[in-house]
Structure 1
Amino acid sequence: MTKSIRMAVLATDAEGSPDLYLTFVEAADLRYNEGQHYDMALAHPEDGGYRAPVIAFDQNDGAADVLRHAAAFMEGDTDEV
């Protein structure tokens, strides 16, 4: 069965600044379990002018939880680091 997976890719934009590229990838359970969805997500940022270094994470990775916390921290909603 194929499922849509929310992915975030930390990359460098065309100006050389760090940025997050958000995308969806479609992956069968086997490809997901083997981690191939990361490779699929890493193929997309180049289309938008992003470049290495790049690292991808999905909605279930620990980094996604940290991203949620980071958003609250950056907005001033929490001082907890």
Structure 2
Amino acid sequence: TVVATNAQGSPDLYLTFVQVTDLQYGHGRHYDMAIARAEDEGYRAPMIAFDHNDAATGALRHALAFMQGDTDEV
């Protein structure tokens, strides 16, 4: 997942799957590849990529629950 600015200038999430070797994954190349794909699709900086193992994934789930009113915990 890449958090980026879309063509309309709004914050957005770009979702993509990339295939990497274990070595590439260990060096964070999957982030670079995801950002490159987002750029190819017209997204622009600022950009940050994260995967299912990063803290941002849990925060995103919590943020969704919060915005949907399923929790009042911040």
Q: Which range moved further: 41-50 or 8-17?
A: 41-50
Correspondence for 2:13: 20
| Structure-1 residue corresponding to 2:55 | 62
Number of positions where the alignment pairs a residue of Structure 1 with one of Structure 2: 74
**Which of 41, 63, 71 is matched with 2:64 structurally?**
71
Once the two structures are aligned, what percentage of the paired residues are identical? 69
Secondary structure of residue in 2 paired with 1:58: coil
Q: CA deviation at 1:48?
A: 2.0
In the aligned structure 2, how far is the partner of 1:74 from the partner of 1:58?
21
SS, match of residue 67 in structure 2: helix
Greater share of strand:
1
Q: TM-score, normalised by structure 2?
A: 0.95
Aligned to 1:36: 29
What secondary structure, in the 3-state scheme, does the structure 2 residue paired with 1:44 have?
helix
Partner SS for 1:66: helix
For 1:3, the equivalent position in structure 2 comes to none
Extract unaligned runs of 5+ from structure 2. none
Offset, 1:23: 0.7
* TM-score, reference length from structure 1: 0.87
